[in-house]
Amino acid sequence: MILALSVGPCSRASQVADLFPTVSPEIVVREARLEDCWEVADTHCSSFFPDYSFPLQFVLRIDRLLAMLSRFTIPNGCRRTFLVAVIGSTVDQTFYIGSEDFKIGGSDGNLSLNRGNVAGILTLDTDANFLPRKGPLRQRRTGIAYVSNVAVRERFRQKGIGKRLVAKAEAQAVSWGCRSIALHCDSSNPGATKLYKGQGFKSIKIPEGANWPHPKTSPDIKFNFMMKLLNTPNTT
């Protein structure tokens, strides 16, 4: 499932996420760490491909794992991060092994062992791969963060985790200087549509005959493109 945001009234979700990064003693929304990679891959595949069995399910998890590691090879000037909602983990429950002097892809060499479980995931970037290009030269659009790969493990659904992930994504996008946030939402998923509209996102009508990019999935899946203006200093 891929999220979609829409241009509409600015909400205070990003402000709340900034004030309360740990949204409850039981649920922490933060950037993914190296040791989260396998759980993130497993959450992604079990949510989007629940009927796949071994060995395909294992191959898909490896593919997703490699996709996460690709965050270190994004286009020049672009940003990307993976957010996770962790259940049953706080700062006090995390300890570290390694040295701060050792760097991996821009991250320090500390390896934290987290006792919590990854319950939800979200990818945020400014690659603009799924945004319409600008002008006759088809230039990459800037200032727009894109949300994708939003998933919550089945046993943790209906607990507001999706909303918390989106709120944190908004706060991150604001910190990157983005003026809006966008995504594609599966039009056959009323739960996701309700979530995003409830967060203030609105559908953007694609001009007739326009060939806007969209996620490459099954040809049977139709997407709504959605955007939302962010409450940044430039929009107030």
How high is the pLDDT of residue 214?
78
Q: Give me the residue label for tokens 């649920």.
A: 27
Contact 80, 125 (CB under 8 A): yes
Specify the amino acid at residue 88.
G
- Residues catalogued as catalytic: 196
Peptide bond into 9 cis (omega under 30): no
Backbone angles phi, psi at 149, to 5 degrees: 55, 45
33 belongs to a structural domain:
yes
234 belongs to a structural domain:
no
18 belongs to a structural domain:
no
* Contacting residues for 43 by C-beta, under 8 A, at least 6 apart: 118, 119, 120, 121, 151, 152, 153
Contact 102, 141 (CB under 8 A): no
CATH of the domain at 71: 3.40.630.30
108 belongs to a structural domain:
no
202 is in which domain, residue-wise?
26-89+115-229
Number of structural domains (the chain) is 1
107 belongs to a structural domain:
no
For the entire predicted model, the pTM comes to: 0.73
pLDDT tens, residue order, the chain (236 aa): 444 333 334 444 444 444 444 444 488 999 998 888 888 888 988 888 888 888 887 888 888 788 777 665 677 789 999 999 998 744 444 434 333 443 333 444 444 444 458 999 999 999 888 888 877 767 888 999 999 999 999 999 999 999 999 999 999 999 999 999 999 999 999 999 999 999 999 999 888 777 788 787 777 888 999 999 998 665 55
175 belongs to a structural domain:
yes
Go through the chain and tell me how many residues it has.
Answer: 236
